[in-house]
């Protein structure tokens, strides 16, 4: 359809109504609010209204300049005071949300594993009434907060215990190689004349270490005792005279590292066993804490609901911080769809009769206008494709309705297997049935349904059903093969059929490009941009439309087109070449630049848009053909195992199932990416600029729950 027309709504209300009004706006989900604190002069400029000590008064009744200055100073003071109060409340909400989210995460971690349906729709579904009345009692709220804080305290203890266990494991692993030593470690430190040094050296460096002489020390001045060895290291003791200890340590440090055991009054075995007991004790404490947490899993639902309730209060506080307030009067401003305005005014003014609404038209020069699409339900899923690229500006055009048929059939051509189309369609129907009506993932399943249908249709017309699976059907099911053969119109596996398939893809692409150029011409006419129309829009479209028939007639001698029509196309082609040359002649200063760019721009228009862009659609043919060949290869590989007695048929079925799942995943991803690419790089570049942003109405944003309004 189109981009929704918006109106700007300025809401003037009494200060003590702020929370009720924000709650109402959250509930109706119609208005995107924006900050007007720094725009307070704009309202006065457009309306002649100023905030007075009680409500509103006209600028012409303002007493004098001193009153105006005093009023503005009072505004600044009160806004500063309001900001500080709201900032404190926001910080309190953030701290509480942090506590609740941590508690939720730890309870979810030890919760019973979810089934597939719960993973698809992980949010809790509760009624609107239950959500609004949740924990109205202050005592109940405080009890839930205390439980969340206690869970988080235990979580911190768990982290401490786990870090200690990791440290103990490291110590136990380091002491293991020395378990052969039966003495206390401090007893082998040395005597008055000797010292014992413990060291570790990588096994590949050990022989080099042994063969390297220590300068100034005789070989009999020390002795090496190899204690243990593993695949990576050698563990040893060196007994030496006290005087040469420093030189030996320096020598060890070049190849490995030295261990320090001073003050360790136990044997390695005693140290290991003590560490093991401590490790086991920590593990038991962890298990006790985990059991305590699991016993609190009944509170998980309440914590989720409470988090979302606090989060939405935090959102209200944020918007409260964006109001412009003086004394008892506040102002909120936002954007609303024109079609929602009448109903909004009726409901709002009936609920808050003392408020004042000021409706304005958008100002393109000053306003940051959001973009809302208004599409039919059948087209809405394709907004996903548009949003991946970006939204247009407010004066632009919504390309969703135009891209939808092209994207759907491009995807079908790329994947092009009736069997895969049936699977996609079945998954889409199942997903839509299982998910709640307002779940955002339903649009994804709708898109899957459309692309699944087009994939099935193209697959039937090209004769691919899980590759060439029909060839493996038993004789009593040959009627299926015969039926599919009657429907098939193109055999993409034959040389002639593949050429027809390629031509079909290029023709579809040619139409796609022409349509994009036509939309550019339409926009130039609509926006009265006649210079762009004659210097860019019309030349590009005329070249695309006329070059093909002119080439067919004069180069390939295709005489089925009447000569009069060919002359018209030839005139349009020459006219376009002249317009492109005029554009470049005007845009450049130097004579040689003018000549060069006149030639190059025409060359680029012909080889770029007409040839290069059109040939880019050959990727549809390549992907469609490769997908069919991959399915055929999977079936032929699986058929090899059929001849194996007893288990051959099982292997064949498993290979077919696994292979086609893999093929569907890989080919499906490729089909989506390349179908998007053709929209973004070939179609959108002709007419579309993504310079807008999505309209996001102020509403309840729930992370863990979904409110059932039915």
pLDDT tens across 273-308, in order? 999 999 999 999 999 998 888 888 888 888 888 888
Q: How far apart are CA 132 and CA 409, in angstroms?
A: 46
- Give the pLDDT band (50/70/90) at residue 120: low
Q: How confident is the model at residue 37 (pLDDT cuts 50, 70, 90)?
A: low
| Top-confidence residue, 497 or 140 | 497
Average pLDDT (691-704) is 89
552-to-153, 496, 578 alpha-carbon distances in Å: 79, 21, 22
Average pLDDT on 533-547 reads: 88
Q: How confident is the model at residue 119 (pLDDT cuts 50, 70, 90)?
A: low
Nearest to 460 by CA among 412, 410, 505, 498: 412
Note the pTM of the prediction, 2 decimals: 0.76
Question: DSSP letters of 453-499?
Answer: HHHHHHHHHHT-BTTBGGGGS-GGGHHHHHHHHHH----TTSHHHHH
How high is the mean pLDDT of the chain? 84
154-174 in b/e form (b: 16+ CB < 10 A) is bbeebeebeeebeebeeebee
Q: Are strands 124-127 and 705-708 parallel, antiparallel or unpaired?
A: parallel
Provide the CB-side half-sphere exposure for 333 (13 A, CA).
23
Q: Output the pLDDT for position 277.
A: 94
At 375, which helix (H) or strand (E)?
none
User: Is pLDDT above 70 for 642?
Assistant: yes
- When mean pLDDT is compared across 58-62, 77-81, 267-271, 567-571, the lowest value belongs to 58-62
pLDDT of residue 199 exceeding 80, the answer is yes
CA nearest 680: which of 455, 444, 406? 406
Q: What is the pLDDT of residue 335?
A: 94
Q: How far is CA 468 from the centre of its chain?
A: 37
Mean pLDDT, residues 134-149 taken together = 80
pLDDT in tens, 52-75: 444 444 444 444 555 544 545 555
pLDDT at position 54, please? Answer: 41
pLDDT for 56 equals: 45
257-259 and 194-202 beta bridge pairing: antiparallel
Mean pLDDT, rounded, for 108-128:
66
Residue 268 has pLDDT above 80, yes or no: yes
Cβ neighbourhood burial of 227 (10 Å; 0-12, 13-18, 19+):
middle
Over residues 591-611, the pLDDT tens digits come to 888 888 888 888 888 887 788
Ramachandran angles phi, psi of 358, nearest 5°:
-120, 115
Predicted confidence (pLDDT) at residue 447 exceeds the cutoff of 80: yes
Higher pLDDT, 330 or 327: 330
């Amino acid at each position: 359809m189109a981009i929704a027309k918006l109106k700007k709504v300025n809401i003037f209300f009494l200060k003590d109504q702020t929370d009720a009004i924000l709650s109402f706006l959250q509930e109706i989900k119609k208005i995107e609010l924006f900050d007007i604190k720094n725009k307070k002069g704009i309202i006065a400029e457009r309306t002649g209204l100023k905030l007075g000590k009680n409500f509103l008064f006209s600028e012409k009744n303002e007493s004098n300049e001193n009153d105006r200055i005093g009023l503005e100073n009072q505004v600044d003071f009160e806004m500063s005071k309001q900001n500080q109060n709201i900032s404190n409340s926001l910080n309190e909400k953030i701290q509480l949300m942090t506590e609740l989210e941590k508690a939720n995460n730890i309870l979810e971690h030890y919760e019973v594993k979810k089934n597939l349906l719960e993973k698809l729709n992980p949010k809790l579904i509760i009624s609107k009434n239950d959500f609004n009345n949740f924990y109205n009692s202050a005592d109940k709220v405080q009890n839930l907060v205390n439980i969340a804080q206690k869970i988080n305290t235990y979580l911190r203890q768990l982290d401490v215990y786990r870090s200690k266990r990791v440290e103990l494991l490291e110590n136990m692993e380091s002491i293991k190689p020395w378990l052969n030593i039966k003495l206390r470690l401090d007893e082998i430190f040395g005597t008055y004349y000797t010292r014992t040094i413990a060291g570790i050296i990588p096994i590949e460096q050990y022989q080099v270490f042994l063969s390297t002489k220590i300068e100034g020390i005789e070989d009999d001045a020390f002795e090496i005792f190899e204690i243990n060895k593993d695949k990576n290291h050698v563990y040893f003791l060196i007994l030496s005279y006290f005087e040469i200890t420093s030189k030996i340590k320096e020598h060890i440090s070049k190849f490995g590292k030295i261990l320090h055991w001073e003050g360790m009054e136990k044997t390695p075995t005693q140290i290991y066993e003590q560490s093991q007991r401590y490790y086991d004790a920590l593990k038991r404490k962890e298990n006790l804490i985990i059991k305590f947490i699991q016993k609190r899993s009944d509170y998980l639902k309440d914590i989720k609901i409470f988090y979302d309730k606090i989060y939405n209060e935090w959102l209200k506080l944020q918007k409260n911080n964006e109001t412009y307030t003086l004394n008892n009067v506040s102002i909120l401003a936002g954007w609303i769809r024109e079609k929602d305005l009448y109903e909004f005014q009726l409901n709002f003014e009936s609920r808050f009769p003392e408020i004042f609404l000021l409706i304005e038209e958008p100002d393109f020069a000053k306003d940051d206008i959001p973009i809302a699409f208004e599409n039919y339900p059948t087209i809405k899923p394709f907004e996903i494709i548009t949003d991946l690229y970006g939204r247009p500006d407010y004066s632009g055009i919504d390309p969703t309705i135009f891209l939808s048929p092209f994207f759907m059939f491009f995807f079908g051509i790329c994947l092009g297997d009736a069997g895969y189309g049936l699977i996609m369609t079945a998954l889409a129907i199942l997903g839509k049935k299982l998910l709640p009506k307002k779940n955002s993932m339903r649009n994804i399943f709708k898109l899957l349904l459309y692309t699944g249908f087009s994939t099935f249709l193209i697959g039937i017309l090209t004769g691919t059903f899980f590759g060439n699976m029909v060839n493996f059907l038993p004789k009593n099911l040959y009627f299926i093969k015969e039926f599919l053969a009657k429907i098939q119109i193109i055999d993409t596996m034959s040389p002639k059929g593949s050429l027809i398939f390629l031509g079909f893809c290029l023709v579809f692409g040619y139409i796609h490009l022409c349509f994009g150029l036509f939309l550019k011409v339409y926009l130039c006419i609509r926006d009265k941009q006649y210079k762009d129309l004659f210097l860019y829009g019309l030349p590009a479209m005329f070249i695309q439309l006329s070059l093909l028939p002119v080439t067919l007639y004069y180069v390939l001698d295709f005489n089925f087109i009447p000569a009069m029509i060919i002359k018209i196309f030839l005139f349009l082609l020459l006219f376009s070449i002249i317009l492109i040359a005029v554009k470049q002649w005007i845009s450049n200063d130097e004579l040689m630049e003018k000549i060069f760019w006149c030639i190059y721009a025409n060359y680029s228009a012909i080889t770029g848009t007409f040839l290069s862009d059109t040939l880019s659609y050959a990727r549809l043919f390549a992907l469609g053909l490769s997908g069919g060949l991959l399915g055929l290869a999977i079936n032929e590989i699986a058929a090899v195992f059929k001849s194996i007695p007893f288990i051959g048929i099982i292997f064949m079925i498993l290979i077919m199932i696994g292979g086609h799942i893999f093929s569907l995943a890989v080919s499906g991803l490729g089909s989506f990416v390349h179908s998007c690419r053709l929209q973004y790089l070939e179609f959108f570049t002709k007419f579309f600029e993504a310079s807008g942003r999505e309209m996001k109405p102020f509403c309840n944003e729930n992370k863990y729950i979904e409110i059932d309004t039915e």
